[in-house]
Structure 1
Amino acid sequence: MKFIILVTFLTIAPWASAQKSALPEPLNLLIQQGGEVVEQFDAPAGMQGYIADFRGQVITLYVTSDDKYMFTGAMLDTQGNNLGEQAIQDYMSGPKSIKDWKQLETSHWVLDGSPAAKRIVYTFTDPNCPYCSKFWQNARPWVDSGQVQIRHILVGILRADSQQKAAAILAAEKPSVALAEHQVANSLPNLKPLLEHSTDIKRKLMENHQIMMVMGASATPATFYQDETGVVQKQMGLPPEAMMTQILGHLKEN
């Protein structure tokens, strides 16, 4: 099994850190390449099953009884049941959801909407992304009603000046106003790129990009929200009209 080497950082969970020295050697290979072993469960034929979080993707791993070999994927019984499915669901709806939301909260976001709005949505935004602007425009009824606040996590990945434009918004006296003015213009070049920005702004943009990678997002917009059960969900790309209520909630008339 091949793993893509991450150039970003991942924080190893306390369980993984405590168990690292006792883990079978094949699992240490996963950890060395940025993965996180988060759960362990019993598997048949003397094997051990593990749940791992790798670049935002949750996978099942199985290690043979001699601790020498590892394989990933679904293990099915004679009835076709996936033996690791329940362990994955428990992790996705519990620890991972909590961890992902806390990770998003630590990002350097720009507020769109009222800080008192109860529903919070995070979206990774590139200033040169036309679909990000379209999502901003489509969300106006929810944001303007005060029901939803969208927290834009600025990144610069699309064009050569994307990072400089993101820096200009973050460094503005009122970042929320700068973002709104830019989005109203529908990504026209009204925003002057900030060619020289401070170390602090550079750090914030770097950390935003790292969080984006950790969350398994590779393009903008990448939107994260909590469903009706509180589980964090992800929408890649411009949300279709049919999904707007799912992401932003039912629009209530004032």
Structure 2
Amino acid sequence: MLLAGCLLSAPAFANTGIDETWPEPIRHLALQGLQVQDSFPVGDSLIGWIVRAGQQEQLLYTTQDGEFLINGVVLDAQGQDLTRQHQRDYLAQPDWSALASSHKITEPSLLTNEAGETISQRELYLFFDPLCPFSRLAWLALQPYREQGLTLHWIPIAYLQPDSRLQAAALLASADQAADQLHQLMREPSTQLELDAAGIQAQAAALQDNMGLMRAFGLSGTPSWIWQDEQGQLNTHTGMLRLPRISELLDLPQPSVLEPELIRYR
């Protein structure tokens, strides 16, 4: 259960190709453009579906009677995460390079050497919805680490509220001003970024790509964190982290000055 984050709802798709033997929930999504690639049994109760939305694959499940669709994590009787295992077994796994080519907003390190050149000691990627309050808390917690050499990459998605799409599209459309716009929005959550309907539509594919990438990593809400450890192993977490854990994963000292809103995460 996600206790400190904003959960994803069911996805929206766009493609064709329908088999009448598929259960009704899968046929319904296929009418919206979902590409169904394969299926497999999950015990006696469920069927797993390997599906594609745009360039990204993901897993869905239906009950054997075809009445219900599950878009989320499936656990067995012992509490083991079957979905994560199925992702490893059936889906092509995204890697660090997929994040580097995502549609993102980068906040560079503020650490410099004697020549005034920027020094980046760590990188961190976060999927966020601009209107997710937990994404804002993550932003507040991470800002002081930029002075210690942290480079932040924010990958916007839009699902939480009707205005999420406008705000996320406006951030991506603002190009060189995106980091400043993000700063303004996170400091003043009531900020309304400006973008017309044509501008929103122009960013639709980028936002869909970001959502597909997030699902490909098996992440289910915002903020979702992705980082590499000292061995180069990719790690993920969904939801707001406690402050000591942030310091630990970054391998950087915890800031001495604390935003009042973050006190409960000490």
* Superposition TM-score, scaled by structure 2 size: 0.58
Q: Which residue of 2 aligns with 1:179?
A: 182
Deviations 1:45-64 (A, max 9, x none): xxxxxxxxxxx954279xxx
Please state if 1:142 is matched with 2:145: yes
Please state if 1:110 is matched with 2:105: yes
Deviations 1:141-195 (A, max 9, x none): 20133x101100011010111011101111114111111111111x223434554
Matching residue within 135, 139, 161 for 2:163 = 161
Q: Which residue of 2 aligns with 1:235?
A: 237
What is the CA-CA distance between 1:198 and the residue it aligns to? Answer: 5.7
Q: Distance in 2 between matches of 1:11 and 1:188?
A: 33
Q: Which residue of 2 aligns with 1:75?
A: none
Instruction: Give yes or no for contact 1:123–1:151 (8 Å, CA) kept in 2.
Output: yes
Distance 1:216 1:183, change over 3 A: same
Q: Which residue of 2 aligns with 1:210?
A: 212
Aligned partner letter, 1:3: G
Say which one has the larger Rg: 1
Which stretch of the first structure deviates more once superposed, 112-121 or 215-224?
A: 112-121
Q: Which residue of 2 aligns with 1:91?
A: none
Q: Which residue of 1 aligns with 2:114?
A: none
Distance 1:202 1:116, change over 3 A: farther
Distance 1:117 1:106, change over 3 A: same
What is the CA-CA distance between 1:202 and the residue it aligns to? Answer: 1.7
Aligned partner letter, 2:99: L
Aligned partner letter, 2:246: M
Q: Distance in 2 between matches of 1:190 and 1:11?
A: 31
Runs of 4+ in 1 over 4 A off after TM superposition: 9-12
Q: Distance in 1 between matches of 2:224 and 2:254?
A: 25
Distance 1:108 1:134, change over 3 A: same
Q: Which residue of 1 aligns with 2:136?
A: 133
Q: Which runs of 5+ in 2 are unaligned?
A: 1-45, 61-81, 110-117, 256-266
- Equivalent positions of 1:19-30 (< 5 A) are none
Please state if 1:2 is matched with 2:44: no
Deviations 1:56-104 (A, max 9, x none): 954279xxxxxxxxxxxxxxxxxxxxxxxxxxxxxxxxxx9x9421221
Which stretch of the first structure deviates more once superposed, 187-196 or 170-179?
A: 187-196
Instruction: Give yes or no for contact 2:226–2:237 (8 Å, CA) kept in 1.
Output: yes
What is the CA-CA distance between 1:246 and the residue it aligns to? Answer: 2.5
Instruction: Give yes or no for contact 2:124–2:227 (8 Å, CA) kept in 1.
Output: yes
Q: Distance in 2 between matches of 1:190 and 1:112?
A: 21
Q: Which runs of 5+ in 1 are unaligned?
A: 13-31, 35-55, 62-95
Point out which structure has higher relative CO (alpha carbons under 8 A, 6+ apart): 2
> Root-mean-square deviation (CA), in Å?
3.3
**Counterpart secondary structure, 1:104:** helix
Instruction: Give yes or no for contact 1:161–1:193 (8 Å, CA) kept in 2.
Output: no
Please state if 1:120 is matched with 2:123: yes
Q: Which residue of 1 aligns with 2:224?
A: 222
Q: Distance in 1 between matches of 2:86 and 2:173?
A: 42
Q: Distance in 1 between matches of 2:238 and 2:153?
A: 16
The number of residues matched between the two structures is 178
Q: Distance in 1 between matches of 2:158 and 2:49?
A: 22
What is the CA-CA distance between 1:11 and the residue it aligns to? Answer: 6.6
Q: Distance in 1 between matches of 2:216 and 2:210?
A: 10
Matching residue within 63, 76, 85 for 1:59 = 85
What is the CA-CA distance between 1:4 and the residue it aligns to? Answer: 4.1
